Every structure is written in structure tokens, then in C-alpha cells.
Amino acid sequence: MREIEHKLAGTENPSPAPRLLKTVVMVGMMGAGKTAVGRALAARLAVPFLDSDAEIETAANMTIPEIFARDGEAFFRMKEAQVIARLLSGAPAVLSTGGGAFLQPSNREIISAKGVAVCLQAEVDVLWSRVRHRDTRPLLQTSDPRATLEALYKVRAPIYALADVTVASDGRVSIETMVDRVMETLATRPDVLKV
């Protein structure tokens, strides 16, 4: 009888929480949800959330658009690679990267060696609906930002396809549902997530 009461009270051994073994690096186009989903994923896994762009801004005491304007994209990409390498050398976490970070072969190599690249794959219409009213995207400061986004997508999509895993970001589900999708995908990788 006591055993039944004990089980009914919900105090039998619960399954342990999943444990992250490698840093999850969120990659994909601007507007794919890397920061929002990454932050919620980190909270779910009880690990730190890191943002490479925020780390760069803190170190430079400037915004990304200001860095682009003053020093150019090549300088920014060099600093971005240094920051990503530093962040990957720490304890497992969830790391959100800028849209261009995964384009650099050296970044892809270190991300796959020390972490796992999770690409949030969203179509152009979804991306455009998320970025069109923001002026914080230096690459979209053009006379036709929608066409620029489409051109970037065409060039970048095949490179994002090289990510270790891909999760669809269709713009129709909540952030929590996106986290569920990422968790389901990571659960297939025992080198990344111990469940």
C-alpha cells in the first residue's frame, strides 16, 4: 500500500534532466530566431546563453552597425571569429551567432569540432516579416532591403545546409515549440545531449 501511495504522490525516481555535453551553436539567416530560440533553449537546459554579437559589441563598446561603418565587414568578421573561438572554449552553453558567422570555413570547422551547429531554417517571407521594420541589420541598409535579403538567402542557404543539424523555423509556432523541435533533434545526438 505504501508503495502505491508513494508512486501516486509522484515521488518515484523522476528521469534526470537532459545534460548538454557540447555547446549548441545557433546558425542561420538574420531573422531565423537564433537569439529568441537560443535563449529559451538555454533556459530549458539550465545552461548559459551566449550571443556572439553582444560579446563583440561589449568588447568594442560599439554596436554592430557602428563597427561595420567604422571598420568594415572584414574587420568585424575577424573579431567575430575570435569571439566564437573563445566562447566555444568554455563550458557547454547555447551560443547564438550572427547570420554571417557560419559562412566562414574556419568558423564552421571550430563550431563542428567543439560544438554542434543547429541551423534554424526559415524561408525568405518569414525572415522578411521579422526583419523588415528593424534598422539594426547593416547588410539590409540598401535601397531595396527585400531584394538584398533574397540575394543573401540565395548565397547563404547552401552554406547553412552544411550545419550539423537543421530545424525548420516556419514562423507559425511559438518559441517554446521551436525549443521542443530543437530538443527532439538534439536528442538524436548522444555526443551533444545526454537524456
Q: How confident is the model at residue 24, as a pLDDT?
A: 98
What's the average model confidence in pLDDT over 59-80?
90
pLDDT at 140: 62
Q: How many domains does the chain have?
A: 1
Q: pLDDT at residue 148 above 90?
A: no
Residue 171, Cα to own-chain centre: how many angstroms? 16
Place of cell 533533434: 185
**Would you say residue 6 lies in a domain?**
no
Assess if residue 11 is contained within a domain.
no
Query: Does the residue 113 lie in any domain?
Result: yes
In a domain, 175, yes or no: yes
Query: Does residue 77 sit within a domain?
Result: yes
33: left (phi over 0), alpha (psi -120 to 50) or beta: left
9 found inside a domain = no
Instruction: Give the H or E element holding residue 115.
Output: strand 115-121
Of the chain, the percentage scoring pLDDT greater than 90 comes to 60
Domain with 189, as residue range(s), is 16-194
Q: To the nearest whole number, what is the mean pLDDT of the chain?
A: 87
Q: In whole angstroms, give the CA distance from residue 153 to residue 119.
A: 13
Q: What is the mean pLDDT of residues 37-47?
A: 96
For residue 164, being part of any structural domain is answered with: yes
Domain contains 3 = no
* β-strand pairing of 165-168 with 49-51: unpaired
CATH code, domain with 78: 3.40.50.300
Cell of 163: 550545419
